């Protein structure tokens, strides 16, 4: 079984540029999460999807961040425009439902210069 697939693995962009991350969860997993992990810290939830519905986006900075999961399968997370403080690892995770354990992807390391 393929795990949670994220791309790209690394991204370096200049500030004020847009950037997008992609996640393909484990097949059949209805719940998808995006987390952000700053250097030296634990991951923090940005948004949770149940199928195609964003059921918890309270931690998503909506002025510059957006996410979608149109068909309830893969998902994209976008930042526009990026700021220096957005440099972090962006982790995607999925689970069968919100009560099951998570499987994390390898993450996308974003560096904003």
Partner 1 sequence: AQSVAQPEDQVNVAEGNPLTVKCTYSVSGNPYLFWYVQYPNRGLQFLLKYITGDNLVKGSYGFEAEFNKSQTSFHLKKPSALVSDSALYFCAVRDFTGGGNKLTFGTGTQLKVEL
> Is 97 strand, coil or helix?
coil
Is residue 69 within 8 Å of 16, Cβ to Cβ? no
Among 1, 28, 42, 70, binds partner 1 (CB under 8 A): 42
Minimum CB separation of residue 32 from partner 1 in Å reads 12
Residue 98 is a binding residue for partner 1 (CB under 8 A): yes
Structure tokens given for 73: 């399968």
Minimum CB separation of residue 4 from partner 1 in Å reads 7
Q: How far is the C-alpha of 89 from the C-alpha of 87, rounded, in Å?
A: 7
Among 28, 58, 63, 71, binds partner 1 (CB under 8 A): 58
Residue 45 is a binding residue for partner 1 (CB under 8 A): yes
Is residue 16 within 8 Å of 82, Cβ to Cβ? yes
Among 52, 56, 68, 74, binds partner 1 (CB under 8 A): 56
User: What is the enclosing helix (H) or strand (E) of 68?
Assistant: strand 65-68
Q: How many residues bind partner 1 (CB under 8 A)?
A: 25
């Amino acid at each position: 079984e393929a795990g949670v697939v994220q791309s790209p693995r690394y991204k370096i962009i200049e500030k004020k540029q847009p950037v997008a991350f992609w996640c393909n969860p484990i097949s059949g997993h209805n719940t998808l999460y995006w987390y952000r992990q700053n250097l030296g810290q634990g991951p923090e939830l940005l948004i949770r999807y149940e199928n195609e519905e964003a059921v918890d986006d309270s931690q998503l900075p909506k002025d510059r961040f957006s996410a979608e999961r149109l068909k309830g399968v893969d998902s994209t997370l976008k930042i526009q425009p990026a700021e220096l403080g957005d440099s972090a690892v962006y982790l995607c995770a999925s689970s069968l439902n919100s009560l099951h354990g998570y499987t994390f992807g390898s993450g996308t390391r974003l560096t904003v210069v």
